[in-house]
Amino acid sequence: MSNLPTTPSSAAADLAANQAKARAPLLPRELSDDELAVFAAVSTRRDLDVGEIVFQHGEVGRCMYIIESGEIRLEFGDDLPDKLIGERTFFGELTLFIGNHARGATAIAATPATVHVVDHAAFEQLMLHEPRHLAHFMRRSFSYLVASEQQLIANQKRRNEDLLATLNSLHLTQSELAATERLVQTDELTNLCNRRGLYRFLKRVQEGPAMDSALGLLLVDLDQFKRINDHCGHAIGDQVLRAAGQEVLSAAAASDLPCRLGGDEFALLTYVANIEELEMRAAQIASAIRSLRFPSPNQHLRISVSIGGGMCALDQPWANWYSEADAALYDIKARGGDGWLILGSNASVNRPSASDSAACVAEQIRP
């Protein structure tokens, strides 16, 4: 079969298509036919198998690469996406421009590939013999590098902003957790530590370094509190508990732990120089609570406490400390309350007449 002659219109269409193809804009890192021919003339050809490494991130190089066929994957790391580049694309050119430059990515053959390797000597040769082509190539390359750096800076800025937002969120979460932990360890009514806070303090005492001072324990129990609560109401009872808790807190130093154990029982773990100082703390609390006064119609209400205490042997558990202080507390209760007793002390109980104290309370809460 003979070929049909080409009509003028089809020839014009072919020409227009070829011209359009010829005028198709190059990608930022893609070489034109002329540029590819110029570089190929001075380069070394290298065939690559799949997975073969061209260069590694951080490696100092002196060569630029141009892909003749196949594809190369650039792995940037630092959570940045990889980039897949193909035929006519050049990469690694920055080492030719500024000398011994550490590679910013790892280049790996994604498919069987052939690349042209352009070293520094070849590049110098082109600068002498092909200055026009090389000048055009360098202008495009620099424009791309500047745009890439600007994009990298923008991405890094966004990552830093995201990181800062994450850190702020973590700090907020940490603060919320710390606040929640404080709430869990705090008595809601008196704002003193509760038993959870006490146990955490005891753990720090056991695990921490030895202190120069000795540790003493005071157990503080309100006298006739059930009668106050029953006859004056829970609102007044809560007011009494808060006021008593504040006096226990006032007797504590910064390193001490005042806490509410539950109900009308408080405790003070306090660092003291000797047993005499522990007696002074007990006397301070008893006197301060005895002097509390309340607004009308409870202006005649008088509050007293019984306090038992002792020095804490650090080689013994909390249960032993509590048991000894509790024994002293109940000794005071048996004598009518409104006083203090420290085990191991020769001091007498410092309190007014128990009958006088009871009479004051009875007068206020009489049905």
| β-strand pairing of 101-102 with 60-61 | antiparallel
Say how far apart CA 145 and CA 88 lie, in whole Å: 17
Does 209 lie in the same domain as 147? no
> Does residue 308 belong to any structural domain of this protein?
yes
pLDDT at 354: 44
Q: How many C-beta atoms lie closer than 10 Å to residue 326's C-beta?
A: 17
CA distances from 4 to 15, 16, 145, 188, 331 (A): 18, 21, 51, 100, 127
pLDDT at 152: 67
> Does residue 57 belong to any structural domain of this protein?
yes
Tally the residues of the chain. 367
Does 116 lie in the same domain as 208? no
| β-strand pairing of 305-311 with 339-342 | parallel
Q: Which among 153, 184, 204 is the end of a domain? A: 153
Q: Which among 153, 177, 203 is the end of a domain? A: 153
pLDDT at 367: 43
> Does residue 342 belong to any structural domain of this protein?
yes
> Does residue 216 belong to any structural domain of this protein?
yes
> Does residue 169 belong to any structural domain of this protein?
no
The tally of domains found in the chain comes to: 2
Instruction: Tell me 82's DSSP state.
Output: P
pLDDT at 366: 43
Instruction: Report mean pLDDT in 10-residue bins for the chain, 367 residues.
Output: 50 53 68 90 95 92 92 87 92 80 90 94 87 81 72 72 73 66 80 90 83 90 92 91 95 93 95 94 95 89 94 92 94 93 72 46 44
Six token digits for residue 181: 């932990």
pLDDT at 139: 81
Say how far apart CA 73 and CA 113 lie, in whole Å: 11
Does 133 lie in the same domain as 264? no
pLDDT at 149: 66
Instruction: Describe the crossing of helices 234-250 and 275-290 by its angle, rounded to 10 degrees.
Output: 150
pLDDT at 355: 41
Say how far apart CA 33 and CA 30 lie, in whole Å: 10
Does 224 lie in the same domain as 132? no
| β-strand pairing of 257-262 with 265-272 | antiparallel
In what helix (H) or strand (E) does residue 220 lie, and over which residues does it extend?
strand 214-222
pLDDT at 268: 97
For 50, the domain range is 26-153
pLDDT at 353: 47
> Does residue 13 belong to any structural domain of this protein?
no
pLDDT at 263: 92
> Does residue 16 belong to any structural domain of this protein?
no
Evaluate the CA torsion angle 161, 163, 166, 172 in order and state its sign.
negative
CATH number at residue 221: 3.30.70.270
> Does residue 94 belong to any structural domain of this protein?
yes
CATH number at residue 76: 2.60.120.10
Q: Which among 127, 153, 179 is the end of a domain? A: 153
pLDDT at 10: 58
